[in-house]
Every structure is written in C-alpha cells, then in structure tokens.
Amino acid sequence: MAVAASVVHDLTPLHDATRVLVNPLKGWYHHYPDNHINKYELARDADLLEFPGMDHLYIRLAWAYLEPKENQFDWTVIDRLVDKWTAHGLGIAFRISCKETGTDRIEQQFATPRWVMEAGAQGGYYRMGKPTGPEGPWEPVFDDPIFLAKLETFLAAFAARYDRQPWVRYVDIGSIGDWGEGHCWAGSRKEYGFAARKKHIDLHLKHFKHAPLMISDDFVYALSNPTERAALHQHVLTNGISYRDDSILVNGYLQGVSDTFTVRSPQFFADAYPKTPTVFELEHYGSVKKPGNWEGRPDFAVAKFGKGKTGPDYFRGALGLLHATYIGYHGYAHEWLADNPEFTREMLNRCGYWLFPKSVELPDSVVAGATMPLTLRMENRGVAPPYAPFELRVMVSGAGTNLVRVLATGCKSWLPGAPVQSRYELALPADLKAGTYAVALGLFYVNQGKTRPVEFALKAATRDAQGYYRVASMEIR
C-alpha cells in the first residue's frame, strides 16, 4: 500500500493568542494629510515606523491642491509623502475631495478649484444649510456637466499616475459632499439621487482599472429613497467596490445607533466583506476624548447597549460588524499609542485575518512517488478573510532533502467563525530517500518579486527563519 492510514495532528496546544502578529495587507493606517494640508502631521518619523502593525498612509486631500490651474498638476503635494513612506514599506490610500468646510485657505474654501467655477460650473456658498456670502465654502452642483467634465479630466490624470502603483491600497470615491462623504449636511443640504451618484462611481470605474476602489457607506446611505439606495448598493457590490465607515463614535450616532456600536449600515459591510476588504475610521480621536466618550461617560444612557460602556467597547463591537481589514484612529499617532498601547495590539490581531491552524491530517507513512493527501483545519479568529493570493506552501524535510511545494494560491474561503477544512494533495518524487521527514506549513505573500511570510497564531518556537511552522512528522518508505 503506497499510503498508510491518516493521522490527525492536533495543533491547538501550539496556539498563542497573546503574540502580536504584524502581517501583510491588514492593520492600522494613519490619516495624513486629513483634508487640511498639515492635519495630523507627524512629530517624528518613529511615530509611524514604531507603531505596531502600521500598514498605510491615508491621504485625504482636496482636488484644488493637486490642480491649482486647469491641466497644470502639482503632484509633489502627494509624491513627497509617497516617496518617503513607501521607501519604508508602507502603502498609500487616497481620497480626493471636492468640498471642504473651512475657509482659512483657498484650497479649503474652493476644494473644487476656483477655476472650475470660473469656467461656468454651477454652485454656491453654503454653511449648515444656509447660503453665505463669498466668504463661505463653495459647493459645486455635483451633477453639473461642466463640473463633471473637469472632474473626469482630473481623474484621468490621477489614474494615469497612480492606478498601477503596487503600493496603492485603495482609492476612495470621495467626489460628492462634505469631506467626500457623500452628504451635504455641513453645506447646502441638497440631496443627490441615484443618477448623480452613479455618474461619480462610474467615472472612477472608467479610469481606475487596477487600484481597488472604496466608498463611504454615507455615500450610499445618503439616498433617502430606499429603492434607489438598494440599487446603488448593488451597483457598488457588482463592480467590486468596497466600503469604509467614517463615523464610528461620532457623538450623534451614540444616541441613534448605539445598539450597533454606532455602525449605521452593518448590512452594507456584511454584503461586501466576503469578497473585498473593508475600512474602519474612528471619529477624530481628539473629538472622541473631549466629552469623555472614550473613557465612558457615567451619565450617558444607551437604551440597548447599556450604560458605562467605553470607547474600546464600541470599537471592538464596531470592528466585528464592519469586518474591517484596515483600522484608523484618526488622530495623532503618538497620542493614540500613548493612551492605548495594549488596545492597539489587541485590535491589530483582531482586524482582518488572524489565523489559528487547528490540525493537520496526513499519512503516518507513505511510499516515495505516491500522492499524499493533506487536510488542514484552520480557524480564523479575525473578522475578515485573507483577500490576497497568499501561497500556502508545505515543506517536507529529511534525509538531506528539503521539498517545497505550493498547495494553494489564495485562501478567501478562510472566513471568520467556524473552522474551515481544506484538502490538498502532494505528489512526492520517486527518488526520495527512505527516512523520517518533518512536515512544515507556511503562508507567503509574493509581490513584485519579494516574498513575505504571513504569521500564524502559533508559538514562535515552532516557526523557522523562513516562516515555516513544523506541524508533523512522517515516514517515507
């Protein structure tokens, strides 16, 4: 008989849920700039370089900074950050907005460049639902044909420069509403329907063919017509666009949707996360701290969630509902980490994927040249699957031989919750010498010719220098 009876190797004694894992394509991000050109500027580089699990920089900036004159683009505003931080291995995400609420700089008052208005695009000056004089922030009519034509020219140029860059995590569709969130609450309070919103989405789809696209749930939820909202949500999903939530622990949501940890649209994220990574954005951390919401206000009555809950309680609950792979504190890195060192590490493990191999089943012995079955049972204690085409590899070592084979490419089926069972087959060379062989598994991210191991939540002592975990041994006859 070429293959002996199978043996199940229990790996649960090797589990280590306390070890902090810094893994690719998941983790924390830092807002900078954040609408204003200097918002959340770093005091020192180490604030990011030493931050546990910092994955990318989220550049949220007005269009006017990048195209101050028509067809004259100033990419240095972005490239100075891109060049610096990608050299340290961080990724970059973008949102380019067309409406801000400040007036201290021309780029804030005219987030859509002033020359667009001067070219004939319709719009007006508004603040909190009321028209202002020309000293107020200018808001374009977001479905005006001149505005849309100028916006498309900009998006085409932006995509030509950044769409194929390997360090782009995602491009956020932020071309409607205050701060790019899809609503005009701080401005005209005008509602834009399905047709207008679809035009903006489709402009991004037309020009971004490689970078993943993201959209705020507010962009879709702002549609008051339930039928149109459902149709736009389906359009988002059908085109592989994912969601971010910009509103966790916003004070008003504590009153209105505390039963869902201030997540207003959990169904959007439940539909999106099995296929695409989602994003968690905390309300500005400084704002969350001011009224005491982070520490927990004893006077704050929440009917369904209960009194006395703290910011971390809401954060944990929201993370589970959003299934977020990327999480942001929306503030100053040094302040957040000084206040929340252990919580930062806890959430790093929980966001995205967090993989616990439970068992490996393989024959106790096998004849060289046979095809060996291998069954892996995996538990994902994170909140989302691994989306990237990670390579699951097996290494069989013994008798002077190290045999490495790729068992699978991609493991999106490793959803959070119940353990997943996967069966693979490994063809063994006929010239393997008889003897006892160690069997090790490893997961690897291969990108741009570089290979990075993905860490399992197993004891560090089981992992070798290449990133493989020894899980069993077997005899080759």
Tell me what the pLDDT averaged over the chain comes to.
95
What are the sequence ranges of the domains in the chain? Answer: 6-17+355-476, 27-350
For the segment 97-116, the average pLDDT, to the nearest whole number, is 96
For range 75-88, the mean pLDDT: 97
pLDDT digits (tens, 9 = 90+) for 151-202: 999 999 999 999 999 999 999 999 999 999 999 999 999 999 999 999 999 9
Q: Locate tokens 């990419």: which residue?
A: 75
pLDDT of residue 425: 96
Nearest Cα to Cα of residue 345 among 17, 12, 4, 11: 17
Give whole-number Cα distances, 340 to 148, 216, 413, in Å: 43, 26, 32
Band (307; pLDDT cuts 50, 70, 90):
low
**pLDDT tens figures, 123-155:** 999 999 999 999 999 999 999 999 999 999 999
Structural contact between residues 216 and 243, judged by C-beta atoms closer than 8 angstroms: yes
How many other C-beta atoms are found inside a 10 Å radius of the C-beta of residue 473? 17
Q: Quick check: bond before 145 cis, omega within 30? A: no
Beta bridge partners of 466: none
**SS3 of 97, please?**
strand
Q: Dump pLDDT digits (tens) for 241-264.
A: 999 999 999 988 887 888 899 999
Model confidence band, residue 298 (pLDDT cutoffs 50, 70, 90): low
Long-range CB pairs of 235-238 (<8 Å, 24+ gap) are 235/198, 235/201, 236/201, 236/272, 237/271, 237/272
Nearest to 40 by CA among 4, 79, 91, 81: 81
The predicted pLDDT at position 398 comes to: 95
Give pLDDT, residue 153. Answer: 98
Tell me the mean pLDDT in the region 204-208: 98
The model's pLDDT over 274-296, given as tens digits with 9 standing for 90+, comes to 999 999 999 999 999 988 889 88
pLDDT over threshold 50, residue 303: no
Structure tokens at 342: 């252990």
Given this model, what pLDDT does residue 256 score? 83
Judged against a pLDDT cut of 80, whether residue 4 lies above it is answered with no
What gap in Å lies between CA 354 and CA 26, rounded to an integer?
Answer: 10
- Per DSSP, helices labelled H in 143-190 are 145-162
Tell me the two tokens of residue 383. 């909140």
Residue 300 has pLDDT above 80, yes or no: no
When pLDDT is averaged across residues 358-374 and rounded to a whole number, the result is 96
Return the percentage of the chain with pLDDT > 70, whole number: 97
Per-residue pLDDT at 2: 66
- pTM of the complete model: 0.96
pLDDT digits (tens, 9 = 90+) for 390-430: 999 999 999 989 999 999 999 999 999 989 999 999 999 99
Provide mean pLDDT across the span 224-252: 96
- CATH assignment, 6-17+355-476: 2.60.40.10
In order of 98, 105, 113, 128, 143, the CA distances from 132 in angstroms are 18, 17, 19, 10, 21
Residues forming a β-bridge with 391: 409, 444
Mean pLDDT of 7-14: 97
pLDDT higher at 298 or 320: 320
pLDDT tens digit string along 321-353?
999 999 999 999 999 999 999 999 999 999 999
Contact 299, 293 (CB under 8 A): no
20-53 tens-digit pLDDT: 999 999 999 999 999 889 999 999 999 999 999 9
Structure-token pair, residue 291: 């009224």
**Contact, 64 vs 103, CB < 8 A?**
no
Distances in Å between the alpha carbon of 113 and those of 99, 100, 151, 156, 315? 10, 11, 10, 16, 36
> Which among 99, 282, 240, 81 is positioned nearest to 168, based on CA atoms?
81
Measured distance between the N- and C-terminal CA atoms of the chain, rounded to whole angstroms: 11
Q: DSSP assignment of 2-48, as one string?
A: -B--EEEEE-GGGB-SSS----TT-EEEEEEEEEBTTTT--SSTHHH
DSSP string, 260-285: GTT-S-HHHHHHHTTTS-EEEEES-H
Q: Domain 27-350: state its class.
A: alpha beta
pLDDT at 170: 98
Long-range contacts of 199-206 (CB under 8 A, 24+ apart): 199/143, 199/148, 200/142, 200/173, 200/175, 200/176, 201/173, 201/232, 201/235, 201/236, 201/239, 201/241, 203/148, 203/151, 203/152, 203/155, 203/175, 204/155, 204/171, 204/173, 204/175, 205/239, 205/241, 206/152
Share of the chain above pLDDT 90, in %: 91
